[in-house]
Amino acid sequence: MKVIALIPAYNEENTIAKVILKAKKYVDKIIVCDDGSQDMTYEIAKSLGAEVIKNERNYGKGYCLAELFKRALKEDADVVITLDADMQHDPDLIPFFINTLTENDADVVIGSRFLNSKSKEVPGYRVIGNKILNIITNKKYTDSQCGFRAYKKEVLKLLIPSEMGYGADSEILLKALDNNLKVIEIPISVKYDVPKPSKTNPILHGLDVLLTVLKRHAIRHPLILFGIPSFIFLLISIIAGILAMDYFNTTRQLPTNLLIISGMSLIISIILATTGLLIFILVSLIREEISK
């Protein structure tokens, strides 16, 4: 069985060597995507025998994963492992991922920080944030944001993310669900006492994931996503209009505020309904073209 490790990296000169040297014990090849680092990440990874994809500038984790997935698909491999370059993930757990994948005939194995007895060591803001993101993404998973994963190589073509940022982790899981892939979670521990435990603000991370999910639902269910708020604004417009008419009949004075609310709500309702309909038509045409 041939195993490849994929490592997205951005300014990880302090830890990339440790990750590569430890991962080398369990995999046949390591491919690093250096996302426009300004330090020695590229040189260190290259000197240790890893194949390195060099981005001219910092595009984001999702872009790196997409490039790594595409590159891995060209390899003669059976299993692909993804892990971070900052030593939060322990490469010594790679055999655990491989064994779980093969013994259960799974398509994807996800590491979960919240199935481990040491999950209490996870910072509180991460626990709360992850629970919110799990609900947004899919309640089926306990840790939708962990990047330590194992994949059957042949499923990668179904999971290549289009998101450039941290929303890619959630997008991959949503695509796995869409394609009815067998996904298993296993307990892992994560280290937070590393030089750079987070590359982005937690709030920005959460917003990135939220936008990813909203965009995906906008494409898959545009009539629902835009239709429900459109109907709500239409009701507000009707109610405000009725109240305005009632007020006018009683006082013979025009209630400007109610008329503005009614008019603006109606405009918003029409915009939302039109947007949902246009996206639905566009997506339908694209799907027809693809199916030909």
Would you say residue 270 has pLDDT above 70?
yes
pLDDT at 167: 82
DSSP 8-state code for residue 22:
H
Region 42-46 average pLDDT = 96
Region 145-167 average pLDDT = 91
Give 261's contacts (C-beta < 8 A, 6+ positions apart): 236, 237, 240
Predicted confidence (pLDDT) per residue in 48-90, tens digit: 999 999 999 999 999 999 999 999 999 999 999 999 999 999 9
Shortest CA distance to 176 belongs to which of 211, 149, 214? 149
Tell me phi and psi for residue 9, to 5 degrees.
-145, 140
Token pair recorded at residue 198:
């987070």
Would you say residue 133 has pLDDT above 80?
no
What is the secondary structure of 210-251 as a DSSP string? HHHHHHHHHHH-HHHHHHHHHHHHHHHHHHHHHHHHHHHHHH
Q: Of 42-46, 107-111, 203-207, which range is least confident? A: 203-207
pLDDT at 224: 85
Could you give the CA distance from residue 19 to residue 31 in angstroms, rounded to a whole number? 12
Region 138-161 average pLDDT = 87
Would you say residue 208 has pLDDT above 70?
no
Region 208-218 average pLDDT = 69
Would you say residue 289 has pLDDT above 60?
yes
Q: Give the pLDDT band of residue 285 (cuts 50, 70, 90).
A: confident
Spell out the domain ranges in the chain: 3-216, 221-291
pLDDT above 70: percentage of residues in the chain:
82
Find the DSSP H helices in 73-221: 94-103, 124-137, 156-159, 168-178, 202-220
Q: Which residue has the tokens 């940022």?
A: 165
pLDDT above 90: percentage of residues in the chain:
60
pLDDT at 125: 46
Would you say residue 229 has pLDDT above 70?
yes
Would you say residue 102 has pLDDT above 80?
yes
Shortest CA distance to 70 belongs to which of 160, 181, 173, 162? 160
Q: Give the pLDDT band of residue 122 (cuts 50, 70, 90).
A: low
Do 106 and 156 touch, CB atoms closer than 8 A?
no
Q: Give the pLDDT band of residue 198 (cuts 50, 70, 90).
A: low
Q: What is the average pLDDT value for the chain, to the nearest integer?
A: 86
Class of domain 3-216: alpha beta
Do 90 and 17 touch, CB atoms closer than 8 A?
no
Shortest CA distance to 141 belongs to which of 164, 94, 109? 109
Token pair recorded at residue 112:
């979960």
Region 132-143 average pLDDT = 64
pLDDT at 80: 97
- Total length of the chain: 292
Would you say residue 185 has pLDDT above 60?
yes
pLDDT at 163: 84
Do 107 and 144 touch, CB atoms closer than 8 A?
no
Q: Give the pLDDT band of residue 191 (cuts 50, 70, 90).
A: confident
Region 177-203 average pLDDT = 77
